[in-house]
Structure 1
Amino acid sequence: MIEGIIWAIFAGLMLGTYALPEKFTKDFAFENTWGLMFTLNMFLIPIISASLLIKGFGGVLSGIPTDILLKMAIASMMWGLGAMMWGKAINYIGLSLGFSIFIGTVILVGSLLPFLVDGLPTSNVLVYILSGIAVVLIGVVMNGKAGITRESDEKADSTSEKVSMTKGIVIAVVGGLLATGFSFANALGRPYLHEACQAAGNPEWVTSVAVMFVIYVCGGLVVTPYFIVKLTQQGLWKNFKTAHLGKNTLLILGMAVLNFAASATFAYAAFKLGKAGNTVGYAIFNTTSVAVAIVGGLLTREWVKASGKARLYLYIGLACMIIGVVIIALGNSQGVM
């Protein structure tokens, strides 16, 4: 169990820092940055990783039952749409708040979805998990309040900015709901892909790469057309001619690698955590990413104009999310005693 928790925390560290390089790109609109990021993230990196790391890759994929693959594909497309909305939310409300609202929503719903696949745990474990999720919910509400208070502090006389903050929070919540398809797809497809990977003589950790290949490529089938249309409609293809293209591409490639590596590491952590690993690992993974993102947001001065009251709400929200995850982890430990 301890090994699984360590891997989940490490995955969260990577996820929490993956969007930070976006702040240093130049001459790119949102559509340029995230369109390139998702193209690299959902096609190039998964294809290269799977081809190089999975022995008998073709046979592994063909070993997934058609109905399971279809369900994984649908859930993954939902996740891809949610991930795209996450990037949009970060643009509206910043790194720290964007992570807090989006990931908080993901934890609330995504931690419960694996029960549809794995079944309910014992009653004592379930009470811990539901109690922890309730505490996380309080944290999500406090984070939302922090964002609204910050917006009021910074732009008290600007109606348009208030609409943007509210719009960003709504986008983050809806995106978070859609992104829970990731948790469902992982819980559903992993057993079949694990068996196929083992039969082909792969080490245990390789299963995570196979699962992420399916999730990311299917998610990309939804996201990529959106960005192609937006780049064309808004005439933003010309932005790729900037003198900063090389630097921007390296920064965005870093985002893509960190995001994919974080997801694959989480999948391995969930496996190591045992029967309730998809729930417990998901909560630890995502809450760690929120904590890291909030620190990143503070370091990059997102909250420099916010009042002490706004920051207090943010800290309380983060504390609730951490306490909630600790409760969930304690519940999981009851199940393995």
Structure 2
Amino acid sequence: MIEGILWAVLAGLMLGLYALPEKFTKDFEFENTWSLFFAINTFVVPNVAAFLLIDGFSEVLAAIPMGILIGMVVASLLWGIGVMMWGKAINHIGLSLGFSLFIGTIILVGSLIPFVINGLPERPVFATIMGGIFVVLVGVVANGKAGIMRQADEQVNQEKKGSMATGILIAVVGGLLATGFSYANTVGGAVIHEAVIAQGNPEWMSAVAVMYVIYMAGGVAIAVYFIQQLTAKKLWSKFNSPSFGRNAGLATVMGILNFAASAGFAYAAFKLGSTGGTVGYAIFNTVSVAVAIVSGLITKEWINASSKSKNALYLGLICMILGIVIVAIGNGL
């Protein structure tokens, strides 16, 4: 159990830090940086990792039953669409509230999906894990409130591009769709693990194979979105920049960290046993949010925030850490 929890924490650390290099790109708009990142992250890194590390990877893919593969692909496409909807929600309701609603939905629903597929554990285990997830959600809400107060403190003048109700709906629906990631990992993990082992590979490589399917399929939805955005905003010419090499290197670091984080989660879920999909998913996402917030504090994103908003932020962090401790205890019962 300890090994699985450590892998989930490590994966969350990498996910929380993967976007940090984006702060150092030059001459790119948001769409340029993130489209380049996603292209590397969902198409380049998975292919290099899978075919370089896994012996007989083509045979591994061929061994996945068609029904399971189709389910994984569809769920992964929904995950890609959900991630893009989160970006749209931010345009309506701002980063803090959009992030809070999106991640809150992912943690709550995504953590329940393995229980729906594999069945409920014993009542004390289920009650403890759900209690921990509830505490985590309290922390997420507190962080969202802190972000909203920070925006007011800094007097950020956000352009209103849509109604609050529309933004909330988009964030929640996007979060629901993004839980396709959890579904794909749950239904495909065991089968792919057996196929990878059958080819004589170490068991940890099954996590790379699972993420290959999820990222390649989800990347299709993401690519369609960014092609449309780059075309509509006439940003393709921005790639012809003297800083392209530097930006591509930073995007590659982001892509490697992000993919490694997801593969680390998949391996953690396997090592945590029957409740691994739920426990690992909760720890993975919670740690990533906590790390992202701490990195924001270190890089002085909160330097102009009031003590009231910072106190709400600290409360949120405490609740999230306490929540994942409770979840971990539940998994050990």
TM-score normalised by the shorter chain: which range applies? over 0.9
Alignment gaps of 5+ in structure 1: none
State the partner residue of 1:82.
82
State the partner residue of 1:125.
125
Q: Percent identity?
A: 61
Confirm or deny: 8 A CA contact 1:7 1:268 kept in the other structure.
Answer: yes
Displacement of 1:173: 4.4
State the partner residue of 2:14.
14
Displacement of 1:40: 0.6
Displacement of 1:123: 0.8
Which amino acid is 1:18 matched to?
A: Y
Q: Tell me: CA distance 1:291–1:110, structure 2 relative to 1, closer, same or farther (3 Å).
A: same
Confirm or deny: 8 A CA contact 2:97 2:145 kept in the other structure.
Answer: no
- C-alpha distance in structure 2 between counterparts of 1:304 and 1:162, whole Å: 28
How many residues are aligned here?
Answer: 332
Confirm or deny: 8 A CA contact 1:144 1:169 kept in the other structure.
Answer: no
TM-score, normalised via structure 1 length: 0.91
Displacement of 1:176: 2.8
Deviations 1:42-99 (A, max 9, x none): 01110111111111111111111111111111111111123334566789856x8876
State the partner residue of 1:233.
232
Displacement of 1:246: 1.0
State the partner residue of 2:105.
105
State the partner residue of 1:68.
68
SS in 2 for 1:111: helix
Displacement of 1:187: 0.7
Deviations 1:162-190 (A, max 9, x none): 97999877765443332211111101001
Confirm or deny: 8 A CA contact 1:147 1:165 kept in the other structure.
Answer: no
CA RMSD of aligned residues (A): 2.4
Between 192-201 and 98-107, report the one with greater CA deviation.
98-107
SS in 2 for 1:112: helix
Confirm or deny: 8 A CA contact 1:34 1:87 kept in the other structure.
Answer: no
Which amino acid is 2:304 matched to?
A: K
- C-alpha distance in structure 2 between counterparts of 1:109 and 1:52, whole Å: 34
Deviations 1:123-180 (A, max 9, x none): 1101111111221221222122112211211117x46379799987776544333221
State the partner residue of 2:279.
280
Confirm or deny: 8 A CA contact 2:97 2:148 kept in the other structure.
Answer: no
Between 32-41 and 104-113, report the one with greater CA deviation.
104-113
- C-alpha distance in structure 2 between counterparts of 1:224 and 1:50, whole Å: 20
Which amino acid is 1:111 matched to?
A: S
State the partner residue of 2:191.
192
Deviations 1:204-255 (A, max 9, x none): 0110011000000000111101111111111100101111111111111111
Aligned structure 1 segments of 4 or more residues deviating by more than 6 angstroms: 88-92, 161-170
- Matches of residues 294-309 of structure 1 in structure 2 within 5 Å? 294-309=293-308
Displacement of 1:283: 1.1
- C-alpha distance in structure 2 between counterparts of 1:301 and 1:68, whole Å: 46
